[in-house]
């Protein structure tokens, strides 16, 4: 069985890279880093989702949150921002703190957050939440909850 069949399941549609407005206009971005470049390539049809999924797991991401007075250095007690979209519930994650700060200035209610490995956030999100990489930017990636479940299985998270 190939990677896509294991990751997304037989008959499932491969998730599309979508442009969803999270408050205001989508922002242009010059891709920085391997994950951003792979997302741009995916949008242009020049990369495969399995490449990008592997980079999401390896990347460092910034995950915004409201103030978390109970959060510990080991990340226990951390509660991320959750965005409700027509496609479901998603936790935003950014490829850099600078990208998150621009969006926070627009409308995401995030007083703080954590920088962590993509693998940690994929592993620890509840089963009903998806991951939304760089929301509000023209080059963004929406990974629904079902895709994260398959990534956990494939990458043994």
pLDDT tens digits, 33-83: 899 999 989 888 898 888 899 999 999 998 887 765 555 555 666 778 888
Which whole-number Å values give the CA distances from 17 to 13, 66, 115, 137, 150, in the listed order?
12, 26, 23, 12, 17
**Of 46, 45, 31, which is closest to residue 133 (Cα–Cα)?**
31
Give the model confidence (pLDDT) of 98-151 as tens digits: 777 766 655 455 557 788 899 999 999 999 999 999 887 877 899 999 999 999
Q: How confident is the model at residue 3 (pLDDT cuts 50, 70, 90)?
A: very low
CATH superfamily, domain 32-154, is: Uncharacterised protein PF11572, DUF3234 (3.40.1350.90)
If one counts every other C-beta atom within 10 angstroms of the C-beta of residue 64, the result is: 23
Domain chopping of the chain, boundaries: 32-154
């Amino acid at each position: 069985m190939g990677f896509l069949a294991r990751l997304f399941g037989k008959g499932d549609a491969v998730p599309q890279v979508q442009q969803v407005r999270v408050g205001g206009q989508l922002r242009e971005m010059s891709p920085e880093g391997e994950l951003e470049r792979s997302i741009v390539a995916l949008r242009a049809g020049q990369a495969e989702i399995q490449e990008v999924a592997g980079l999401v797991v390896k990347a460092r991401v910034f995950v915004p949150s409201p103030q978390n007075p109970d959060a510990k250095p080991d990340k226990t007690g951390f509660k991320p921002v959750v965005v409700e979209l027509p496609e479901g519930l998603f936790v935003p994650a950014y490829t850099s703190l600078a990208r998150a700060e621009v969006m926070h200035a627009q409308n995401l209610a995030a007083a703080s957050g954590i920088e962590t490995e993509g693998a940690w956030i994929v592993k620890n999100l509840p089963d009903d939440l998806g991951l939304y990489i760089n929301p509000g930017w023209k080059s963004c990636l929406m990974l629904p909850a079902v895709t994260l479940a398959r990534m956990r299985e494939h990458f043994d998270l």
